[in-house]
Structure 1
Amino acid sequence: MDGSPDRSQFWAKLTYKDNDRSTGEIVDWHPLLAHSADVAAVTEALLQRTILRDRVASLIGWDDLSDVHVARLSALAALHDAGKVTQGFQNRAFGNKPTSDHVTPAVSLFREDNRLEFFEALGVLSMLDWFPEQNVEEIVYHILLSTWGHHGEPVPPQRPDPVLWETTEVRSPTEGLRRLAGATQRWFPNAFKNEAQPFPALPSLQHAFNGLLTLADWIGSDGSFFPFADTLDAPMERARARAAEAVDALFLDPDGPRSVLSADSGFDQILEQPDWTPYPIQDAVRDVPVHKHGGLAVLESDTGSGKTEAALARYARLFRNGLVDGLYFAVPTRTAATQLHDRVTAAVKRLFPEEQRPPVVQAVPGYIKADDVEATRLPDSFGVRWDEEVQHRGWAAESSKRYLAAPIAVGTVDQVLLSTLQASHAHMRATALLRHFLVVDEVHASDAYMTRLMDRVLDQHLAAGGHALLMSATLGASARVDLTTDDGDVPGQDAAETEDYPLVTHVDATRTDPESVHAASSDASKTVAPTLCDDADAPQNVAQRALDHARNGARVLVIRNLVDDCIKTQQELESLAGDNTLLFGVDGTPAPHHSRFAPDDRQRLDNAVEDTFGPATPNRGVVAVATQTVEQSLDLDADLMITDLCPMDVLLQRIGRLHRHGRDRPDGYATARCVVLTPEERDLAPHISDDGQAFGPHGLGTVYGDLRVLDATWAVLGNDDLAPWQIPEDNRLLVERATHPDALRTVVENEGDDWHRHEQWVLGSQQADRQATGHVTIDRGEPFGAEPFPDDLGTAKTRLGQEDYRVELPHPVDGPFGAAIEELSVSAWQLDDPPETEEATDVKQGSGAFSFQFGGHSFQYDRLGLSQK
């Protein structure tokens, strides 16, 4: 509506001249009834045209939602902005006092003495028979909290301000409620006139509805789909037409892509290799039984056996059969996600014809990418600029809160885990995730905290009838039992060591009676000769050893557990090398590979390391020093690896970068060689403190907190009877020897009192981690709003890698690799307190480096990465 609203009219959204609120000049406005219709129509469309209708029904134990129940949920959605009728909110358009938001006054109605008057005006009393008669007031209270708490988290009722709801000569909030109620009843007559069984008194409905409504509000508030109305007439007719267009444009309705997915779509399309024969384990993943009401599969198979392609083939099968609407592919690191996104995008292009091809979003904060197109964030704006042909395909990529709303997304696992934390927009993430086939790669059991969070996610996903696949090259029997059963018995170590490998274990949503299928992976096998070396404390010796092998023509990968050790080794390497011909770098500039680089430089490092160590690259002697950033997903092929001691499952991941492909090897390197760096003393006990916690060097006891696993891994490495290793044939044996509960118990029993204290600390820490998840996760067994979200989730987010702070440079600065840097990240541990601003100050350019101030600290950024001065 052009101009400014009349003071007696109820507005929902405003546009100011030049999009500058400070001008006070309103040039366009959107009526409250129009916006209410927009969001209600999107809610209706999502329930009518996506699998969310089935998922919500499953969560409340029903086979389906009837059209009446869809209408009732849509009618509730129409009331989501009821608080905008208040004097406080409407005054914001006219500079009058008092002013207020619209959520707090709405939820505070429950504490108004005359609340029944307002609820009757809003039509709530006519909704009472939608819910069980017993405790109906409490049920309605929580369903309205879930309706009004649609801005990302529950809002608890506060002391009401009666002035906000008073009728004046200018306007009547009560009349505004009546208009909204009357319109809602006209829009959804079935909700009020037709009989239907009451919704069950289950909190799961409240939580799922809040997520659904929040997603609908994001879509219904998008001006590209729902421009401001130019008339007050027929708002719902307009809204339903716009909602249909939005659901189509965002590929939320899967019918189009599903209709063109060939019945024989499979590995040929996924891999672009005509007549390619999949490995038996890949066929097994695709073909294990599909449980109609949801199911979980766990794939244990070696690195390089095509787990990614197996997951995509299963997605295609589930999608074609209408059991999922989309895919979220979760991996541990941002590097892995950016690499995998390109592979999935290419496969999706081959699976779907262009006109019905769903977009593939890269769900990595700091990037805005859909398919193979990157967007530019507009300065001083929340908007982004896409190439014209992308249009709405990148909508979900524009905000990390929307990642899970994409039809297909490839991102980090933390985006999934945030759906179960008491964090902003967790409910929207969780409900959007219900549409997807959830694939989680590189699952490990070494972190009880992360494992418990994933278990919470799976509980919700499977309860809704969802489907999930967890994948690992190195999963132990104990972890597999925990994932696939509620209370299963872990086989003894001897039995565990002889279990089949590779293995696919599948189970229905109840997670009872899992079944397993054994099948061969590839016919590739490699011999690995492990060697122990006590030079972990001597970076100069490590650098010299690596250089000696590089001068013999070998490609050498050095992996240190700590960034500081990585940088020290890099510096020694450069000092000893004399020139850069044997050193990894970017366009001739030597550099280590670790996480403390700006996003654009990190991408350059990823590209460079694959260009140096990739399968199609020429043989030459070269050394790269890195951290865990290279142990997963990057397609690297080294002749020799030098690595710090780490848990056996992690070590096998790292060994996956050795002899990854068939190629000519330099003389003396026909057998893959892995040198494992250890402290000089074999005894780890001196690193155990009086309380049992461990604080050893090189990440022993800090990065990897369980010294029992490290000691058991060290023992396996020193067992000459097991060497050389045959990979993947020995994977099961090696993992169980170093991680099985019986093996860890043996370490403690053989080593003395220090180890008993450490075991108690580890077990206590694991139990504390499990309990800690209960304090930071959403309990969907409790009514919505019963537990307000905490003000700070710093510790929880830090453990998910979410507490990095964006640093924006006031102007582009030349970086160490010849390209301008505009932003980078600082970790929470590098600051004393959260920063007050994202902007860096006192930026000073040097030669291939720059310094800046941020959060009260001085930082240096150069070819070695980010460091504190």
Structure 2
Amino acid sequence: MLGCKQKTFFSKDIEALPLGMCLAKLVVDEKTGESKPGVSVAEHCLITGFVAEELCRSLIDNMKQILTESAPFFASIHDVGKISPDFQRMIYTSWLGNVKDFPQLQSANENRAKRKDVSFHGKISQVSVESSFPEQKMLAIIEGMHHGFKPNFSPVAENSDIYGGDNWTSLRHKLIENLKRSFPYSGSNNLNEWKQACVIGGFITVADWLASGGYFGNIQQNHSYSKDDLKKIAHRAVHNAGFIPLSIKKGLQFEDIFGFSPRKIQSDLFESVSSPGVYVLEAPMGLGKTEAALYAAYKMLEKGLASGIYFGLPTQLTSNKIYERVQLFLEKIVGEESSYCLKLLHSSAWLEEDAFGEDAKVGKSWFDSKKRGILAPFAVGTIDQALMAAMNVKHSMVRAFGLAGKVVILDEVHSYDSYTGTIMNALVDELKHIGCTVIILSATLTSSQKKKILDLPFEQVLNDSYPLISSQTDKTFSEISSLGESNRNVSIQISKDDKKAFDVALEKAENGEQVLWIENTVADAQDVFKKLAAKSAEMGLECGLIHSRFIKKQRSEIENKWVSLYGKNGYSKRNTCGRILVGTQVLEQSIDIDADYLITRICP
């Protein structure tokens, strides 16, 4: 059995603990510091179901359809595996130091209840659910994964001696039947689609988190709360964690939010985004792709067809800059009676709070955990935070639940390599199936890339117009050519002569123009800056350098200075002197700047 020698530990004659004595956890007395029994497993499961009901009330309709009406019941049964002798011995030993007064636990082994061992309670929950609902294979799997990973499963029967034999098995089934009477369960809600099951699995995990800490964290056994009291606490716990219906201002026009009239390409996009699906906007820099995507997101929020926004970008720098713009956007669209949280998600996001000021700090501290940030209604971050929803990583189901039903904007997708692009395609496919509106922004995409993103057949003939909007909803594919922009003449010169480029840059700057010079590597950008800076100083010109290797405080100061000069608010300062800004491709990605003349190294 299990690939190792195991003895028979439990006799059929040994009774299980009474259901009310099977503890879910211990709590620490705030006055004495002593460990005391917390709620029972049965009560923790009931509380989790109450929390899940409250979570469902906060969700938009299409999210409720994904979760099904049985979601609170699915959440309630997640911990039935804690009704096992090994787990209970672990709890009672931690509380009392021994189990001498409990003959039901004498032969148990608390070491086997550890997360990677044979009787970890996630495994037992999985086999118990599969035994109770043989048709619900996927439900059993996600119940076993509610701690974020798939248990290292071994083929052990539910009534195995290791799991306590028939008596403990009967107790687990008794709890499942009790919970079925407390929460609706429809046998028609079979989970046959893994993408839907992942969202429900994330929902179960979130309900468990809320039911395990905060308002419920210190409730002890034999408390005086009634079921109605527990439901009221569940309401407060869910509401104060930030899971409340969004209040979105109605009837706002594009001009009301951004202060200028939309271009044709922008209006074409937000008029075409009318339902969940995948939309690809290809347009050059400077045409306002970001504003177009955000207004399309607003329209989906206004109609109740989206539960929030996730804005994913390729780098931390671009995430930081879009964060500021999205924050201004939210101040325009979110009603005063609705408390919202905009979360910045990347590995160094915590360092940015002081730079962004008090308003950037998390509105609801429950979302402050690294693994919970993506659950916030509005978030900006690097694309890897979203990609993990489609990868085999811990708590990928929580990320799937966090993205479900949202408008997911993925910017600068042309910059991703083949590896990241492949995972992104899998993410887009998953998002399509979980009620998301996916808006892809790019300066340009190859037809091969676009076919993979939209899951189109290889032989599909695509429109080669530019700018272009491509969309796929309910398996309906369409393209909109948006050629209504005013024509501009742009002169392009190609040269291998770096000295000529230096001379032109200095000449343009001396004439009062704002010059942008982009290199492929940091080392090359530093070398160009050294040469230009020395000459610029002699000529009374300003010269700057931006790349990703500055320390964060210094980089933030440099970015703020140059974005204020080259950004839309810097026109009044431009006639004071000519300038040259040198940098890498970070200057091309989601930073709202403008220049009179561009010198760029052709990419490798």
What is the one-letter code of the residue matched to 2:567?
G
Question: What are the residue-to-residue correspondences of 1:518-529 with 2, within 5 Å?
Answer: 518-520=481-483, 522-523=485-486, 525-529=487-491
Query: How far has the Cα of 1:471 moved from its partner?
Result: 1.8
1:457-536 aligned within 5 A: 457-489=427-459, 491=461, 499-510=464-475, 513-520=476-483, 522-523=485-486, 525-535=487-497
Q: Which residue of 2 aligns with 1:566?
A: 525
Which blocks of at least 5 consecutive residues in structure 2 are unaligned?
1-20, 99-108
In 2, the alpha carbon distance for the partners of 1:95 and 1:367 equals: 43
Amino acid at match of 2:480: V
Alignment of 1:543-562 (within 5 A): 546-562=505-521
Following the alignment from structure 1 to structure 2, what is the Cα–Cα distance between the partners of residues 548 and 486?
Answer: 49
| Structure 2 counterparts to residues 444-843 of structure 1, below 5 A | 444=414, 447-489=417-459, 491=461, 499-510=464-475, 513-520=476-483, 522-523=485-486, 525-535=487-497, 546-576=505-535, 582-584=541-543, 592-617=545-570, 618-619=573-574, 620-646=577-603, 700=604
Residues of 2 paired with 1:241 and 1:612: CA distance? 53
SS at match of 1:468: strand
Hey, what's the Cα distance between the residues in 2 that align with 1:32 and 1:279? Answer: 61
Deviations 1:449-473 (A, max 9, x none): 3332122112111123332111223
Q: Aligned in 2, Cα 1:50/1:349: closer, same or farther, shift over 3 Å? A: same
RMSD of equivalent CA atoms: 4.1
Normalised TM-score (structure 2): 0.80
Paired residue type of 1:208: V
Show the counterpart of 2:15: none
Structure-2 separation of matches of 1:99 and 1:488: 54
- Distance apart, 1:610 and its partner CA: 0.8
Q: Pick from 150, 153, 156: which aligns with 2:152?
A: 156
Q: Distance in 1 between matches of 2:561 and 2:315?
A: 18
Distance 1:106-1:251 versus aligned 2 partners, 3 A rule: farther
Q: Match for residue 269 of structure 1?
A: 256
Which letter maps to 1:516?
E
* Structure-2 change in CA distance of 1:457 and 1:624 (3 Å): same
Give how far 1:182 is off: 5.1
**1:781 corresponds to:** none
Structure-1 residue corresponding to 2:56: 47
Q: Distance in 1 between matches of 2:351 and 2:239?
A: 20
Deviation at 1:93, TM superposition (A): 4.5
Describe the shift of the 1:616–1:508 C-alpha distance in structure 2 as closer, same or farther (beyond 3 A): closer
Where does residue 311 of structure 2 map in the other structure? 329
Question: Aligned AA for 1:268?
Answer: E
Query: How far off its partner does 1:600 sit?
Result: 3.1
- How far 1:348 sits from its partner (Å)? 1.7
Aligned partner (choices 83, 86, 89) of residue 87 of structure 1: 89
Q: Is the 8 A contact 2:22 2:88 kept in 1?
A: no
Measured in 1, the distance between the counterparts of 2:64 and 2:352 equals 28
CA distance in 2, matches of 1:567, 1:189: 69
| Structure 2 Cα separation of the partners of residues 415 and 103 of structure 1 | 25
Q: Relative to structure 1, is the Cα distance of residues 248 and 365 closer, same or farther in structure 2, using a 3 angstrom cutoff?
A: same
Q: What's the % identity of the aligned pairs?
A: 22
Measure the CA separation in 1 of the matches of 2:449 and 2:273: 22
What residue ranges of structure 1 are gaps of 5+ in the alignment? Answer: 1-7, 19-23, 59-63, 376-385, 586-591, 647-699, 701-869
Residues 113 and 121 in structure 2, CA contact (< 8 A), matched pair in contact too: no
Tell whether the 8 Å contact from 2:22 to 2:83 is kept in structure 1 after alignment. no
Counterparts in 2 of 1:352 and 1:200: CA distance versus 1, 3 Å: closer
CA distance in 1, matches of 2:595, 2:273: 38
Whether 1:290 and 2:274 are equivalent positions in the alignment is yes
The answer to whether the aligner puts 1:12 opposite 2:25 as a matched pair is: yes
One-letter code aligned to 2:153:
P
1:110-121 counterparts in 2 under 5 A? none
Quick one: distance in 2 between partners of 1:71 and 1:91?
A: 32
**Separation of aligned partners in 1, 2:484 and 2:91:** 62
CA spacing shift, 1:183–1:519, aligned 2, 3 Å: same
Asked whether the equivalents of residues 469 and 479 of structure 2 are also in contact (C-alpha less than 8 Å), the reply is yes
The question of whether the paired residues in 2 share the 8 Å contact of 1:542 and 1:569 is answered with no
Corresponding residue for 2:333? 351
CA distance in structure 1 between the aligned counterparts of 2:407 and 2:428, rounded to whole angstroms? 11
Instruction: State the TM-score, normalizing by the size of structure 1.
Output: 0.57
More helix by share: 2
Change (3 A) 1:391 1:333: closer
* Partner Cα distance (1:369, 1:55) in 2: 33
Is 2:393 the counterpart of 1:393? no
In 1, Cα distance between the equivalents of 2:453 and 2:291?
22
CA distance in 2, matches of 1:567, 1:373: 25
Partner of 2:207: 216
Opposite residue 144 of structure 2, the aligned amino acid is: W
Amino acid at match of 2:599: I
1:361 CA drift (Å): 1.8
Which residues of 2 match residues 99-138 of structure 1 at below 5 A?
99=111, 102-105=114-117, 125=131, 127-128=132-133, 131-132=134-135
List per-residue Cα deviations over 1:398-457 (Å, max 9, x = no partner): 234223211111222221112111122212111221121111122328733333212211
Matched residue count: 566
- Which residue of structure 1 aligns with residue 14 of structure 2? none
For 1:252, what is the secondary structure of its paired residue? coil
Deviation at residue 105 of structure 1 after TM alignment: 4.9
Q: Deviations over 1:706-744 (max 9, x none)?
A: xxxxxxxxxxxxxxxxxxxxxxxxxxxxxxxxxxxxxxx
Measure, in 1, the Cα distance between the counterparts of 2:578 and 2:440. Answer: 37
CA–CA distance in 1 between the matches of 2:444 and 2:412?
8
Work out which structure has the larger RCO, using CA pairs closer than 8 Å and 6 or more positions apart in sequence. 2
Query: Which amino acid letter does the alignment assign opposite residue 240 of structure 1?
Result: K
More strand by share: 1
1:216–1:179: structure 2 CA closer, same or farther, 3 Å change rule? same
CA distance in 2, matches of 1:500, 1:11: 61
8 A contact 1:266–1:316 mirrored in 2: no
Alpha-carbon offset, residue 607 of structure 1: 0.7
Q: 1: distance between equivalents of 2:27 and 2:183?
A: 31
How many angstroms apart in 2 are the aligned matches of 1:567 and 1:32? 63
Q: Provide the rounded CA distance (Å) in 1 between the counterparts of 2:527 and 2:280.
A: 39
Q: Tell me if the contact between 1:54 and 1:65 (Cα under 8 Å) persists in the aligned partners.
A: no
CA contact (8 A) 1:81 1:103 kept: no
- Indicate conservation of the 8 Å contact 2:289/2:441, yes or no: yes
1:232 matches 2:223: yes
Instruction: Please tell me the residue identity of whatever aligns with 1:305.
Output: L
Could you give the per-residue CA deviations for residues 756-779 of structure 1, whole angstroms, max 9, x where no partner exists? xxxxxxxxxxxxxxxxxxxxxxxx
1:562: Cα distance to partner?
Answer: 0.9
Q: What is the CA–CA distance in structure 2 between the aligned matches of 1:602 and 1:373, rounded to whole Å? A: 11
